[in-house]
Amino acid sequence: MIGEPEREGQETAEREPPKPRPVIVRVFRALKRYENRRRRRAKEYASQHPFYERMMAQWTRRVGLFTGDLVLVGIITAAIFWRQLTVMQGQLDQMNIAATQTDNLIVASGRSATAAEKANEVANKAVISADRPWVGVDIIDSPTLRVGGNLQSRAHWRNTGRSPALHVIGNTNVTLVPPGEDPPTPMITLPAIATTNSALMPSAGMISLSGDQIIIPDQASFDAIKTGLWAVWFSGRVEYTDSTGASHFANFLGRFDPASNRYAMVNAEAN
């Protein structure tokens, strides 16, 4: 009877579950088991596939070397391309400079050509001007004043140029202007009746006269002219062409000076 309580105590102890281990211990044991399995599997794979492992290592090394070679080739190629680009850029700059210089030369040549044309034109004009005819009034014969006389005046036209003057037409006119009236203007047109000459050679001349119909009727008129109260004006114009067909003219306007008994030139034009 005495031993029964002790048996009951043992049965109670056997029925009680073991105390759980700490969590940290269980985690470390799980990690240890996982690491053991991984090592075991790696050993099994290495023992079963050593050839493929070596091949993969070799291919990996070769791919790495090939990749490095590609990178090196790319760097060298980039350097070559950069050098060529620099050289081409320099050549392009030189071509642009040459093109600019060519444009400047073209502009300068154009200016030189224009200047040469102008110089040639000036030279031609100078030659033409030097060789062309020049017709103008050379001598003017003044009237002889006397009562009952007239105011006949003569203009001697002369070609002082080096070539003949063609289609020469000349005319003169004497005007008696009373006090208070305006003097005449230079003759700008020729009347229908005028002195003509088909050609006037160099140093040759012709005469135009007028005023022979203006009579000094009495002493009072003579005195008025002699004292300058009445003004006597003499005008003339000549027109002609040169060998090139260019038209030219010359005109004059003079007032009679009783003191010197000749005409004083007031206006003269020519082209």
Domain boundaries, the chain: 22-131, 135-270
Question: How high is the pLDDT of residue 248?
Answer: 95
Question: How high is the pLDDT of residue 1?
Answer: 45
Question: How high is the pLDDT of residue 232?
Answer: 95
Question: How high is the pLDDT of residue 10?
Answer: 56
Mean pLDDT by 10 residues, the chain (271 residues): 53 61 81 86 69 73 86 90 88 89 87 85 78 92 92 94 92 92 87 78 90 91 93 94 92 93 92 89
Question: How high is the pLDDT of residue 14?
Answer: 57
Question: How high is the pLDDT of residue 7?
Answer: 57
Which one, of 176, 172, 191, 184, lies nearest residue 250 by Cα? Answer: 172
Question: How high is the pLDDT of residue 140?
Answer: 92
Question: How high is the pLDDT of residue 15?
Answer: 61
Architecture of domain 135-270: Sandwich (2.60)
